[in-house]
């Protein structure tokens, strides 16, 4: 069996790649704002669709802008909470005597991104709060959400409006008078019979 064993190729010694430098904090904040913009726009779009189709509410730009503002405030609060937790983790790691040790005995190294995480989260939270008070940015977001909502449901609504009405059906029209007469003779007569007698 040993005759058919493959020879092991010497692949050399593994050399870990050099760590990538951290992205500038401004780029981190900009990326977070782009992601949040799409998320808030989708939330506003869904809110608009629910208002229109389920609740029958008219389009209210001010209400939708306030809804978007609330979404940004909520994102900011989430990031502030995450920054507090990240800072506690960092403080614990830095204050441990001799540094933290993995179960195998390897020391825990505080990576640069871990060290910067609380600062990045606070910066993103501040950017969300700034966006939440920018009227023009919110109005643009609402307009885009409105267009996206129409793209999603406009075809369905147009098809419903274009569908032939029931009273345009020739068969329906032909027997319409007969159905009205039957309603008067039978249904209304039955309703009168059930009414309590009055003096």
| Same domain assignment for residues 159 and 194 | no
| Same domain assignment for residues 63 and 148 | yes
| Same domain assignment for residues 177 and 135 | no
**Cα–Cα distance for residue pair 106/164, rounded to 1 Å:** 75
Q: Is residue 12 a part of any domain in this protein?
A: no
**Cα–Cα distance for residue pair 74/80, rounded to 1 Å:** 10
Q: Is residue 7 a part of any domain in this protein?
A: no
Range of the domain at 173: 167-199
Cβ partners under 8 Å of residue 72, min gap 6: 36, 40, 128, 129, 131, 132
Mean pLDDT in consecutive groups of 10 residues from the start of the chain, 199 residues: 66 78 93 97 92 73 94 97 93 69 67 90 97 95 91 70 60 66 59 58
Q: Is residue 15 a part of any domain in this protein?
A: no
| Same domain assignment for residues 73 and 158 | yes
Q: Is residue 76 a part of any domain in this protein?
A: yes
The torsion angles phi and psi of 197, rounded to 5 degrees, stand at -70, 140
Rg (CA), the chain: 33
| Same domain assignment for residues 27 and 95 | yes
H-helix segments, 13-111: 25-49, 61-95
Coil vs helix vs strand at 21: coil
Q: Is residue 44 a part of any domain in this protein?
A: yes
Cβ partners under 8 Å of residue 51, min gap 6: 57, 60
| Same domain assignment for residues 38 and 104 | yes
Number of separate domains in the chain: 2
CA distances from 158 to 47, 58, 60 (A): 20, 18, 21
For 162, the token pair is: 């274009």
CB 108 within 8 A of CB 93: yes
pLDDT number for residue 186? 58
| Same domain assignment for residues 173 and 152 | no
| Same domain assignment for residues 157 and 173 | no
| Same domain assignment for residues 184 and 131 | no
The DSSP H or E segment spanning 140 is helix 135-162
| Same domain assignment for residues 126 and 193 | no
| Same domain assignment for residues 44 and 104 | yes
Q: What is the pLDDT of residues 125-163, one digit of tens each?
A: 999 999 999 999 999 999 999 988 888 877 666 666 566
CB 128 within 8 A of CB 35: no
Q: Is residue 8 a part of any domain in this protein?
A: no
Q: Is residue 9 a part of any domain in this protein?
A: no
Look up the pTM and report it. 0.66
């Amino acid at each position: 069996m040993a005759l058919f064993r493959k020879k092991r190729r010497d692949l050399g010694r593994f050399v870990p790649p050099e760590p990538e430098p951290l992205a500038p904090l401004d780029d981190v904040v900009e990326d977070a704002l782009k992601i949040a913009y799409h998320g808030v726009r989708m939330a506003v779009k869904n809110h608009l669709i629910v208002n229109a189709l389920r609740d029958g509410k008219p389009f209210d730009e001010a209400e939708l802008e306030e809804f978007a503002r609330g979404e940004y405030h909520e994102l900011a609060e989430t990031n502030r909470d995450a920054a507090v937790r990240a800072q506690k983790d960092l403080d614990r790691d830095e204050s441990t005597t001799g540094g933290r040790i993995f179960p195998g005995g390897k020391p825990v190294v505080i990576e640069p991104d871990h060290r910067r995480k609380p600062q990045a989260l606070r910066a993103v939270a501040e950017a969300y709060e700034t966006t939440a008070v920018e009227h023009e940015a919110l109005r643009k977001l609402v307009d885009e959400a409105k267009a996206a909502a129409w793209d999603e449901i406009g075809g369905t609504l147009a098809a419903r409006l274009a569908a032939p009405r029931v009273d345009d059906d020739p068969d329906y029209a032909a027997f319409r008078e007969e159905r009205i007469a039957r309603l008067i003779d039978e249904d209304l007569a039955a309703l009168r019979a059930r009414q309590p007698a009055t003096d």
